[in-house]
């Protein structure tokens, strides 16, 4: 089994870019990823950046990931061993689970499953 990306700012940056659709700013330190804010009407970079939420460690932020994955059914729970598992299923496809991931916490499992659903092996 491939080593999974640990929960933390690297995973948060991956979620921000691959799932949430943010453009990360090269003006920030890798340990504190930021994303660029674009004008709603113009679509142009506003010159401002905002801290990437802590998707992989904060359940409220992880729930935003679930909301963004609106074209997928979602399930999350604990195994008998106490490990969290999360699943994203394609809506109306009938092909079974699209992605499955595990983690020590619900947010880390959710983020890994979302990244796998979008074609990554995280």
Question: Using 50, 70 and 90 to split pLDDT, how confident is the model at 1?
Answer: very low
Question: CA angle, corner 119, sides to 113 and 122, nearest 5?
Answer: 50
Question: Using 50, 70 and 90 to split pLDDT, how confident is the model at 32?
Answer: low
Confidence (pLDDT) at 111: 96
| Per-residue model confidence as pLDDT tens digits over 40-50 | 677 777 777 77
* Mean pLDDT to the nearest integer, 92-120: 85
Q: Do residues 121 and 2 touch, judged by C-beta distance below 8 A?
A: yes
Domains of the chain: 9-117 (3.30.2120.10)
| Per-residue model confidence as pLDDT tens digits over 50-99 | 788 999 999 999 999 999 998 889 999 999 999 999 999 888 766 656 78
Token code pair at residue 58: 């904060």
Confidence (pLDDT) at 105: 96
| C-alpha separations of 57 from 26, 66, 106, 114 in Å | 23, 14, 8, 14
Residues 91, 10, 51, 102: is their CA dihedral positive or negative?
positive
| Residue 3 exposed, middle or buried by CB count within 10 Å (0-12, 13-18, 19+) | exposed
Report the chain's terminal Cα–Cα distance, integer Å: 11
């Amino acid at each position: 089994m491939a080593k999974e990306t640990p929960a933390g700012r690297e995973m948060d940056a991956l979620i921000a870019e691959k799932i949430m659709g943010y453009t990360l700013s090269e003006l920030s330190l890798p340990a504190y990823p930021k994303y660029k804010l674009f004008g709603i009407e113009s679509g142009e970079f506003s010159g401002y950046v905002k801290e990437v939420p802590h998707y992989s460690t904060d359940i409220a932020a992880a729930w935003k990931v679930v909301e963004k994955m609106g074209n997928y059914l979602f399930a999350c729970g604990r195994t008998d061993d106490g490990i969290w598992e999360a699943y994203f299923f394609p809506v109306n496809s009938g092909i079974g689970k699209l992605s499955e991931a595990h983690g020590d916490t619900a947010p880390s499992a959710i983020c890994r499953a979302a990244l796998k659903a979008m074609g990554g092996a995280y």
